[in-house]
Structure 1
């Protein structure tokens, strides 16, 4: 049987390099590759790829008028400090926060939802 391994999630967005730079900044990662339509961010927790799509429409949350296909979760030690860091980098915090005691929901600069969480599901 052939080996099938996940290489990375890929997010469509208006500008691949700009969004890769945002995620590199908040994770301490680096831009590993970029061209006019693609960028790769290599971070301490793995790789995320970005593809420029001029027709990109960001999802909406919590009312899914534009459905969310998936979102990224990031484990953090200090929720308040991490929230300040991502806001300073250009994220937007959603007003609806259903689990704010352990998880905060944000939108990246292209409008993709992502969460900062103190729950580490693999080590519970």
Structure 2
């Protein structure tokens, strides 16, 4: 039997955090955790018991990095991106050098001018770095 009672409040959810896919979710989680000074949390297992999703809590947001066997990095800039991460640093030049040491690469195409730099994470996904506001 349906409940026809008028709703007095509208349920409000919160976005817990984005999820990014890669051929190796743990490796990508470790890269971003190192980039922002965080730790990789306990992985989540699939139905076979294999860990495939790895949380990285940063402040009030948890980012999830998931293993996807059929992952294909976007052909950026030829393909539009449905999503990417922006990271800010007090010293973007030092951050760029550090991220490159961690396994990022720098594509030739740099549309941000003086505002941001595009890097590719170890899975080949573009992300941007810029100077922290303030």
Place the TM-score, normalised by the shorter chain, in its bin. 0.7 to 0.9
5+ unaligned residues in a row in structure 1: which ranges? none
Provide the TM-score with structure 1 as the length reference: 0.87
5+ unaligned residues in a row in structure 2: which ranges? 1-9, 45-50
Q: What is the aligned residue count? A: 119
Matching residue of 2:28: 19
Q: Which has the larger radius of gyration?
A: 2
Does residue 10 in structure 1 map to residue 25 in structure 2?
A: no
Moved over 2 A (4+): 43-47
1:40-90 Cα deviation digits (max 9, x unpaired): 1123573210111100000122111xx422100011111111100100100
Does residue 41 in structure 1 map to residue 50 in structure 2?
A: no
Does residue 53 in structure 1 map to residue 62 in structure 2?
A: no
Does the 8 Å contact 2:90/2:132 carry over to 1? no
Matching residue of 1:115: 128
Give the secondary structure class of the aligned counterpart of 2:81: coil
Structure 2 CA distance for aligned equivalents of residues 98 and 27 of structure 1: 23
Does residue 32 in structure 1 map to residue 41 in structure 2?
A: yes
Give the secondary structure class of the aligned counterpart of 1:31: coil
Does the 8 Å contact 2:85/2:128 carry over to 1? yes
Matching residue of 1:93: 106
Give the secondary structure class of the aligned counterpart of 2:87: strand
Structure 2 CA distance for aligned equivalents of residues 108 and 101 of structure 1: 21
Does the 8 Å contact 1:27/1:44 carry over to 2? no
